[in-house]
Amino acid sequence: MRAADEYARFGRATGLPPHVPAGYRALFPTVADAHVRLLGDHVLAEPTTRPAERHGARPARFTRPPAWHAGDVPFAFGTPAGAAPHPRP
């Protein structure tokens, strides 16, 4: 995906509010970069957050940077002091 019109069509086809694709586009240097990030979040995150929101839950959004795998676990168990990322080698 290289063209802005293709990216806009993708946003409409997936039913995303217009501000969501626009926000991703503002964060990344190319349309292709924005599309990859938006597609990944749409495929991996939205299937879990939309049903939770329909049931009145307000899921936390851990976004890049500095999100890391399982970074939300301490918050789920009420121990946010344990949420510091591991230092990089």
pLDDT band at residue 51, thresholds of 50, 70 and 90?
Answer: confident
Provide the pLDDT confidence category of residue 63 given band limits of 50, 70 and 90.
low
Q: Under DSSP, is residue 36 helix (H, G, I), strand (E, B) or coil?
A: helix
pTM over 0.85: no
Check residue 76 and give its pLDDT.
75
- Domain residue limits, the chain: 4-74
Closest to 57 in 3D by CA, of 49, 65, 47, 45: 49
